[in-house]
Amino acid sequence: MSAINLLEESIVEKTAGESESIPSQTFPDEVILDIDNVSISYSGNPAVKHVSFPIAKNRITSIIGPSGCGKSTLLRSINRMNDFIDGVTVDGNFIYAGHNVYSSRIDPVEVRRNIGMVFQKPNPFPKTIYKNISWGPQINGFTGSMDELVEKSLRQAALWDEVRDRLHESALGLSGGQQQRLCIARALAMEPDILLMDEPCSALDPISTSHIEDLLFDLKSRYTIVIVTHNMQQAARISDYTAFLEMGDLIEFGITDQLFTRPNQKRTEEYVTGRFG
């Protein structure tokens, strides 16, 4: 039996309140990050409960679920952004490059260099377009050609042709969609392995959303992308794998096409067909 068939049979065996790791031999892609039995609480109140699933290298993984299900909490914990929130406790393992990113021996700043993040609303610095891209690499000791890095990052974010003559103008003069692509370019300038995106299109119009989605398709050949989205159609369009969370529990994880068209769990079917309640 092929690896993909094994995956389809075993990857989604899950009921609420329980969590199963996916045996590596059944997963068809290289795993760059393993989320292993992760629970997250705010001042003792559980937000994520015993969640386990792999993140495939150079693929797009979507995390979907109703508001308050824990999807953004889980995403922000991957690169330890929740360290900045008082009262958050994280149990379990995020295994990246053979190490738990929450190990006491791991520098969280180094984690964030390798696992970048783009937030829900565009948040460019109140500086020039050029400074938005160059600031992170500069303070982290980049010694190459900054001009080349700025151009490369903007090209990767499909923004170079639109701003090449405006590099020393304020980034705040860009449109909302351009600002979000600038934030993506800013994250890419750090040359991360993984790019986390927390509902990056929720504040954008349909045309800007389409540009971001096209960009993600281009970027996944070079980067691993994990995206939280409330838009199920977007998840179905862009992602290779999808995780469905409800009330902090992982209900189902699998190949996106299968999860949306042949889900194993009744709750998944109810959610993706709009009969959730």
Checking if the pLDDT of 12 tops 70, the result is: no
Residues 6 or more apart in contact with residue 179 via CB below 8 angstroms: 122, 124, 171, 172
Checking if the pLDDT of 116 tops 80, the result is: yes
pLDDT tens digit sequence for 41-73: 999 999 999 999 999 999 999 999 999 999 999
For residues 227-233, give the mean pLDDT: 93
Show the tokens assigned to 96.
Answer: 């990246």
Residue 275 to residue 55: CA distance in whole angstroms? 28
Q: Kindly state the percentage of the chain with pLDDT values over 70.
A: 90
Residue 206 to residue 179: CA distance in whole angstroms? 15
Domain boundaries, the chain: 3-122+194-272
pLDDT band, residue 276 (cuts 50/70/90)? low
pLDDT tens digit sequence for 126-175: 999 999 999 999 998 899 999 999 999 999 999 999 999 999 999 999 99
Checking if the pLDDT of 11 tops 70, the result is: no
Residues 6 or more apart in contact with residue 273 via CB below 8 angstroms: none
- pTM of structure: 0.87
For residues 75-93, give the mean pLDDT: 95
The predicted structure's pLDDT at residue 20: 52
pLDDT band, residue 16 (cuts 50/70/90)? very low
- Summary mean pLDDT of the chain: 89
For residues 228-234, give the mean pLDDT: 92
The predicted structure's pLDDT at residue 204: 87
Q: Which fold has domain 3-122+194-272?
A: Rossmann fold (3.40.50)
Query: Which residue in this structure is represented by tokens 């400074």?
Result: 131
Asked whether 94 and 35 are in contact (CB, 8 A), the reply is yes
Residue 101 to residue 237: CA distance in whole angstroms? 30
Residue 256 to residue 198: CA distance in whole angstroms? 18
